Structure formats: structure tokens, C-alpha cells
Amino acid sequence: MFCLSELEDTVRVPPDLLKLPLEVAIKKVLQKLFLDKVLSIGLCVSIYDIKSAEGGFVLPGDGAPTYKVVFIIVVFRPFVGEVIAARFKESDSNGLRLTLGFFEDIYVPAPLIPRPNRCEPDPCNRNQMRWVWIFEEQEYIIDDSYQINFRVENISYPPVPTERAEDGAIDDDGLGPVSWWEGCSERNNEDDDT
């Protein structure tokens, strides 16, 4: 789910931004550093607010001032065991792939798809396999017609190169997907009840 998270970091404001109001300049630098990055606390989707900015000292040999900034960001942070609403993206014989729009690396491996089920070639898309859930003699095709609720089983972070030399309150500065495997607690309930 989405969370507000307070962070502290040392921010260098490059000279070309100094003509802007300080808060705007700092926000721009923070956006560049954090937006769409995976941190240990989650995927940063927005800089919410700047609580304080202190300092502004220019270090010797540098043309730019450095500030100690306390700020709040909005992160998306999945929890193991949390149920999240998503949409279908694609499927193959290994399982399903789901998407949230801003995040697309959600995988449901075949063993976690509700049973009984079967996998067959997709008549509308030759390259894809589709999954069909059989429940009380009714067949439900798993596709993008409905919202799919899934439970987070596992979160994996790819190895992350640490570009930044500073240690702030932030552990990781990562790019790249976080992939989750879920038990698909299948709930196709967009318009009707199942």
C-alpha cells in the first residue's frame, strides 16, 4: 500500500537551480534523486513535502550549496501477506503477470493459481497461453476483464548498484523492478460477486 515516509538527506543544489525559490530547487533535486526509485522503504512515487532545510554551506572546490533536508515522500510499499488489487497483464505456461500501472513486475507462478485449472493456448493471441479456473462446473477465463486481487507471498529486490557515496537515512538507491510472487486469491469481482 501507499505510505508516507519521513527521510533526511544531504542535498546538493546545482548552481543552475539557484535562481528558483529554495524549496522549489530542493524539490527538483529530490525528485531527480528519488522519484521512481526503489528504496528500502518502497518505491518512491512522489515528494510530498519538505519539512526543513538547513545549511546552504558551499564546500571548498564546489560551486554548489549543500543543505541538510528533512522531507516526506509517498512510497508504494507492498507487505508480505497484504492483498492488493491489480489488473491482468499477460500470461504464459509459467503463470500470470499482473500490473498496477506504475508497477508491472508482479508474477503469479502456476502452482499458486486457483485449482482446479487448466492452461491452453489463447485463441485471440497465438503467442500467449491463457489460464482457466474451474469452479463448481463453471469456467472462468483469467484475463483482463476484471480486477484481480492477489496476496503478496514474496518480495525480491534485484542486486542494486550503490551509486551514491553519501549515507543518509536511506539505505538503497536502486533502479529496477521489485518482483513479487503471490498466491492468487482470485477475486474476479469487478461488477459481480463471486
In the complex, the residues that contact other proteins under the rule CB under 8 A are 1-5, 31, 35-36, 43, 45-46, 48-49, 51, 74, 76-77, 79-85, 100-102, 147, 149, 151-152, 185, 187, 193
Which is closer to other proteins, CB of 38 or CB of 142?
A: 38
Which is closer to other proteins, CB of 18 or CB of 35?
A: 35
Rounded to a whole number of angstroms, the minimum distance from the CB of residue 127 to other proteins is 25
Collapsing DSSP states into helix, strand and coil, what is residue 176?
Answer: coil
Which is closer to other proteins, CB of 84 or CB of 96?
A: 84
Rounded to a whole number of angstroms, the minimum distance from the CB of residue 163 to other proteins is 19
Which is closer to other proteins, CB of 45 or CB of 119?
A: 45
Q: Are 80 and 155 in contact (CB under 8 A)?
A: yes
Which is closer to other proteins, CB of 48 or CB of 92?
A: 48
Rounded to a whole number of angstroms, the minimum distance from the CB of residue 69 to other proteins is 14
Rounded to a whole number of angstroms, the minimum distance from the CB of residue 186 to other proteins is 11
Residue 52 makes CB contacts below 8 A (sequence gap 6+) with 69, 70
Angle made by CA atoms 72, 7, 5, in degrees to the nearest 5: 50
Rounded to a whole number of angstroms, the minimum distance from the CB of residue 44 to other proteins is 8
Angle made by CA atoms 106, 149, 142, in degrees to the nearest 5: 80
Separation of alpha carbons 9 and 72, rounded Å: 11
Q: Which DSSP string do the residues of 18-66 spell out, in sequence order?
A: TTS-HHHHHHHHHHHHHTT-EETTEEEEEEEEEEEEEEEEEPTT-SSEE
